[in-house]
Amino acid sequence: MYRNDRLATAQRYPIDEYERHILFLLEGHQVLVVVGETGSGKSTRIPQILFSAGIYNSVDRDDVVEEGDSGDPKMLTRPKHKQICITQPRRVAAVQLAQRVSHDLGCNLGSTVGYAIRFQDVTSHEHTMIKFVTEGILIRELLFDPLLKKYSVIILDEVHQRNLNTDILLGLLKCILVKRADLKLIICSATLDVDEITAFFKYNNQCPAVLSTKGKSYPVKIFYKKQPVANYLDASVESVRNIHESIRLASGKILVFLTSQDEVDYVCQCLKDYAMTLSNRLDVQQLLILPFYAALKPEDISKVFDEHGKLTRVCIVSTNIAETSLTINNIAYVVDCGFAKLKIYDSKSATDCLIRVPISKSSAKQRAGRAGRTREGVVYRLYQESDYNQLEESTMPEIQRSPLMETITLLMSLGVDDITRFPLISKMPKANLVSALELLYALQAIDEKGKLTSTGQLMTQFNLDPRVSKMLVSLESAGCTKDACKIAAILQVKDIYTKGGRYASSLWANQDLQNLYSGQGDMITYLKIMNSFLDKQKNKKWADRRNLNYQALLNASDIANKLEAQMRNCGLSITSSRGRDEIIQRAVASGLFSNAAYLHPNGEYKTVKGDLSVYVHPTSVYSNDLIERPKFVVFVEILNTTKPYMRHIMAVEQSWLLEIAPHYYTFATSLEMMRNKTR
């Protein structure tokens, strides 16, 4: 065993005291469960402990992926060593942790330490030994390397979040461990049902080893509201002002938890207005306001982790992205709104809904744990203690509230013939499973026997929602692949408009932006915006004048290029529609037909399946009174805020829906007729 000199002199964490325990337990067990308190150093230090012990070194010639065995260019050459893989539920966490570990080891990012997230791979096939990935990336790697032979150790981090991909990975790794006795699996979490995990991985009467570690924590005081708050956004602003005014010269950052990017931007603007009033005051520190959410530019995300001098207090306003994995130093105060937004699938209407819900006790503890990592902390919960006592212990696993189309097609492509027998800690809800199979059949992704069709196999090559993948495939056959890639790319970025939330109502008052909208809906408008952006050589001033998010457009352009490359690798041709909007509309409808709504005589839209009232989102072109609203539309998702809003809307003809999916809509119509008879 050897120890890296840089590692020996790096900052020490509580987990370092357990170095020998970790290595000893891995010698005798294939699976190790590490339960460590917030701040113990699990995410950054365990990979370094394994690296310094030389765990990655050995590689068997039989384990390599030979040239020609894989469609992935990263796997075409023979590796010289095995790798340590660490999964993260969020892209930002994977990137930031890779940067931190590469710094600790004194190497360039992308060499010894690298990361891979969707549409971005910063690794070296020859040199990378520690690789941070999102869970989805590791699942996709199984398509090329079914036994993950390039890895000696896989570390699943933040398992307590129970993301959809977390549960799928746990099931896949349970199967792989039986065939690969040399593979080690480490499961890490701050809060975890250990008995549930150990029972799941029990094999041949041997249970996983369990190691409980202590975190380096300081006392944290928690304060609750005596009365319910009318508006937690305004209450958040007031709390920050009170902290800054009443504790004037004390150091320490403030971290505010909100539910969405729109809320973060609104509160940031309010606090920046307040901070401006402090410029001439000598009795208080200056206040620097920093937003924190996944759609930020990398340089803006880096500001959150930087130090900004003792004369300035930093206030970070964040979504729940700051809840786990990432350590922001010197957090002294946490303001917790008590809510989060979760995507929930409604099998009755076959739609995704983004809903604001109360957080769980586990999440509340994680948020409070952001303070007290490096100093004493204070947490202000914007709800009553009685409300906290009524919270659920943990958040519902994502697999029980998600559409399962992508999961099913991915498992089928990996050779799982019977989805119902696939090992899962939490079972898929029967209603969601039936709805997913019905929709996949209507998408022509599976046949009558429940097997993947050639179309379905092609759709799995894209790491996208099957409905968007079907749109890509349909537009290829219609000769519109360039347009398909641009539309699909914009759907992958958070928002291309800079005015959202409370400011969305003034978005379409911008005359320059009005010149780009299309009466056919948001999808065609996105295409016109993207084409004009590229025609203007990606000019930032052009984007700013039209209330367009410059960074989002850059990201979408990059994603579109990568999707085109994927389509070429699949043998698909790259062509453009040349302004044939109806062809694009029909192809988009072929993927989104399940999310259809019609204009009711009362002026509201109602979903075709389920007959639920839905509304046009303020950022949609159809929020503009100058555009006539079509009788039938399709949309990507529903966002529940003050109302259930349709996002990313496009006009369609009723006849198209019946042509595209006659089985699906015949079935839906029959159901509605039966319901009407029983009323």
Characterize 68-77 residue by residue with b for buried, 16 or more Cβ atoms within 10 angstroms of its Cβ, and e for exposed.
eeeebebbee
| pLDDT, position 1 | 37
Task: Give the mean pLDDT of 460-470.
Answer: 90
Q: Do residues 497 and 507 lie in contact, with contact meaning Cβ atoms separated by under 8 Å?
A: yes
How many angstroms separate the CA atoms of 657 and 624, rounded? 25
Decide if pLDDT at 80 tops 80: no
As to burial, measured by CB atoms within 10 angstroms (0-12 exposed, 13-18 middle, 19+ buried), residue 299 is exposed
Q: Do residues 440 and 408 lie in contact, with contact meaning Cβ atoms separated by under 8 Å?
A: yes
Domain boundaries, the chain: 14-60+78-212, 220-396, 403-446, 453-660
Q: What is the DSSP letter of 508?
A: G
How many angstroms separate the CA atoms of 635 and 648, rounded? 5
Both structure tokens of 626: 């100058």
Task: Give the mean pLDDT of 408-419.
Answer: 90
Q: List, in order, residues 6 or more apart from 675 with CB less than 8 Å away.
A: none
| pLDDT, position 282 | 65
Collapsed DSSP state (helix, strand, coil) of residue 69: coil
| pLDDT, position 30 | 94
Residues forming a β-bridge with 221: 378
Fold match between domain 14-60+78-212 and domain 220-396 = yes
pLDDT, tens digit (0-9, with 9 covering 90-100), for 634-678? 999 898 877 899 999 999 999 999 888 887 776 545 445 444 444
Cβ neighbours, 10 Å, residue 465:
21
- Percent of the chain at pLDDT exceeding 70: 90
CA distances from 413 to 255, 447, 469, 590 (A): 43, 14, 15, 22
pLDDT, tens digit (0-9, with 9 covering 90-100), for 145-168? 999 999 999 999 988 888 899 999
pLDDT, tens digit (0-9, with 9 covering 90-100), for 490-548? 999 878 888 655 556 678 888 888 889 899 999 999 999 999 999 999 999 999 999 99
* Residue for token pair 């509160």: 267
Decide if pLDDT at 69 tops 50: no
| pLDDT, position 156 | 95
Torsion angle of alpha carbons 384, 390, 396, 402, nearest 10°?
-70
| pLDDT, position 501 | 55
- Percent of the chain at pLDDT exceeding 90: 51
Decide if pLDDT at 65 tops 50: no
How many angstroms separate the CA atoms of 536 and 635, rounded? 29
Q: Do residues 289 and 318 lie in contact, with contact meaning Cβ atoms separated by under 8 Å?
A: no
Decide if pLDDT at 78 tops 60: no
Q: What is the DSSP letter of 373?
A: S
pLDDT, tens digit (0-9, with 9 covering 90-100), for 306-319? 888 777 899 999 99
CATH topology of domain 14-60+78-212: Rossmann fold (3.40.50)
| pLDDT, position 627 | 83
How many angstroms separate the CA atoms of 126 and 82, rounded? 10
Both structure tokens of 610: 């389920």
| pLDDT, position 375 | 78
Cβ neighbours, 10 Å, residue 300:
14
Task: Give the mean pLDDT of 317-333.
Answer: 87
Which amino acid belongs to residue 452? Answer: L
How many angstroms separate the CA atoms of 138 and 488, rounded? 22
Question: Going along 157-252, which residue ranges are E strands?
Answer: 184-189, 209-213, 220-224
| H or E element at residue 354 | strand 351-358
How many angstroms separate the CA atoms of 549 and 543, rounded? 7
Q: Which of 293-302, 425-434, 570-579 has the lowest mean pLDDT?
A: 570-579
Residues forming a β-bridge with 206: 203
| pLDDT, position 678 | 43
Superfamily holding 220-396: P-loop containing nucleotide triphosphate hydrolases (3.40.50.300)
Residues forming a β-bridge with 288: 314
pLDDT, tens digit (0-9, with 9 covering 90-100), for 235-247? 999 999 999 988 7
Cβ neighbours, 10 Å, residue 306:
9
Decide if pLDDT at 446 tops 90: yes
| pLDDT, position 503 | 59
| pLDDT, position 75 | 43
Task: Give the mean pLDDT of 547-564.
Answer: 92
- Kindly indicate the confidence band of residue 64, based on its pLDDT and cuts at 50, 70 and 90: very low
Region of 564 (left: φ > 0; alpha: ψ -120 to 50; beta: rest) is alpha
**Nearest alpha carbon to residue 12 among 40, 51, 43:** 40
pTM of the model: 0.83
Q: How far is CA 373 from the centre of its chain?
A: 25
How many angstroms separate the CA atoms of 403 and 440, rounded? 11
Q: Do residues 320 and 257 lie in contact, with contact meaning Cβ atoms separated by under 8 Å?
A: yes
